[in-house]
Amino acid sequence: MSADSTISLADEYGNEDQLLTLNIGRGRVHSPVWLNASTILFGKEALVQHPGNSGYLGVFQFEYESGRIQQVSSGIGMYFLSKSPQRDMLAGADQKNLYVLESLSANAGLHRIFSLPANEGFLLSVAWGPDDRIYFTVDDSIPLDDRHYLSKSRIASIKMDGTDLQTDWASETRYSYRYPIAAGFEEMMFGRFALDGSRQELWIRNTRTGKTQLFAEPALRAVYLNSVAKRLYYIYQQELHLRDLHSGADWVIANSVKEADYLRSAE
C-alpha cells in the first residue's frame, strides 16, 4: 500500500479483514465505499492541485477481481464518500464543499449542496444516513486570541437536495463530535471526544426518536456494527479493532488504519 493511501477493508464476505493495495500512481486515495461485491469506489486528490491534474482528481471505481480502475467523476479532489443505502447516489466532499453525485450508473455531474466559508474550518467526514439525510463532520476553528485558536468539531445534517440544514445535530461545549456512520434501520453511530483528551467514546442515536446512549469506549471511529452477530469494527489509535459485544473480547486486526468500510453481506 502507498504510504499516502488510507484504504482498508474486509473481503466481500466480511471475513479475513485485510488491507486493499492499489497502484494509484500520483495522488492520495480516501474513503473506500463498496458499490457491490466486486467493486469499490474511492476518492482521490492530486498532490499538486492545478487544472492539468483533472485526470488525477475525483471519484474512481476499482474492480476488485480484475484490478481495473476507471474515473466516475473528475475535476474536484475528493476526500470523503458515502453511498446512499436506498438510492443509486453518492455523497462526496472535499475539505470545504459537500456534493451529491446523482447517479452512479451514468456520467452524472456533482451537485454542490453545502459549502463552508474560506475562514471557517474544514469538513472531516460524510455519512449517508438511514433516514435519507447526509451527516457530516465540521471541524470549526474557534479563535482564542489574535494568534491562537481552538479546533472543535461537530456533526451537521442536511437533506440530499441541500435543504433543512441542521448545523448542530451533535454539538456540545465540552466535547467534539466526529465520524458519523449508519448503524441500523434508524440509528447513527458517532464519536464523542472530551476536549481535554480524557475520553474517546462511541455513541448511538435513533434518528426518529432522538434517543442517544453510550455504546463503546475507548474508541475513536466506528466502521461497522453487525447487530446480528454482535460485532463492532472500529478504529482506535490507528488500529482496526474487532470487538465481540457478547463477551467483551477485543482484537486488533490491522495496523496504521485511518478510515475503512465494510461490505454488508447477508447476515
Q: Please report, as a single letter, which amino acid is at residue 118.
A: A
pLDDT tens-digit profile of 201-233?
A: 999 999 999 999 999 999 999 999 988 889 999
Mean pLDDT of the chain: 84
pLDDT tens-digit profile of 142-160?
A: 777 777 777 899 999 999 9
Would you state the pLDDT for residue 76?
85
DSSP secondary structure string for all residues of 124-147: EEEEE-TTSEEEEEEEEEEESSSS
The stretch 120-129 carries a mean pLDDT of: 93
pLDDT tens-digit profile of 94-107?
A: 999 999 998 887 66
Enter the DSSP assignment of 54. G
Would you state the pLDDT for residue 111?
93
Would you state the pLDDT for residue 11?
46
What pTM was estimated for this model as a whole? Answer: 0.88
The stretch 221-249 carries a mean pLDDT of: 92
Would you state the pLDDT for residue 49?
56
Residue 1 pLDDT > 60, yes or no? no
DSSP secondary structure string for all residues of 202-236: EEEEETTT--EEEEESS-SEEEEEETTTTEEEEEE
> Distances from the Cα of 188 to the Cαs of 36, 155, 164, 213, in angstroms?
22, 11, 18, 11
Q: Residue 62's Cα: distance from chain center in Å? A: 18
Would you state the pLDDT for residue 53?
60
Would you state the pLDDT for residue 207?
96
Strand-by-strand arrangement of the 166-170 sheet: 122-128, 133-143, 149-159, 166-170
> Distances from the Cα of 50 to the Cαs of 5, 45, 53, 58, 78, in angstroms?
21, 11, 6, 13, 14
91: cell is: 455523497
- Residue with the three cell numbers 491562537: 148
Would you state the pLDDT for residue 6?
46
